[in-house]
Amino acid sequence: MMNSTQDMLRESSQIHHDPRADVRDHILEAVRRENEYDLEELVRVCPSFTWNQVFLEVDHLSRTGTLRLLRKSNGLYAVRLASSPAR
């Protein structure tokens, strides 16, 4: 049985936690700080997440218009906020 309203809220937030939110928040914080990251460098600054987790969230964020995925030379890609001006 719950002891308090705080316990109920804590349990509710755990049930509704989106595990992708952690990787999304980390990616967005990093890109806001540096304006642009090579995709591989972004993976390195997100050590708590796998390459796949970072890539899938970058893909999702680019499809929803939050991030822009930019093709660089030699098949490399960079990531920036969609609202950021081009370099």
Domain ranges within the chain, ordered by starting residue: 19-81
pLDDT of the residue at 16 = 61
**Measured distance CA(67)–CA(29) in Å, rounded:** 12
pTM above 0.85, yes or no: no
CATH number corresponding to 19-81: 1.10.10.10
Query: In tens digits, what is the pLDDT along the chain, a chain of 87 residues?
Result: 445 666 655 565 555 667 778 999 999 999 999 989 999 999 999 999 999 999 999 999 999 999 999 999 888 999 999 986 555
pLDDT of the residue at 1 = 46
Angle at 8 between CA 7 and CA 10, to 5 degrees: 65
**Measured distance CA(33)–CA(43) in Å, rounded:** 15
Contact 79, 42 (CB under 8 A): yes
Token digits for 31? 């890109």
Contact 9, 43 (CB under 8 A): no
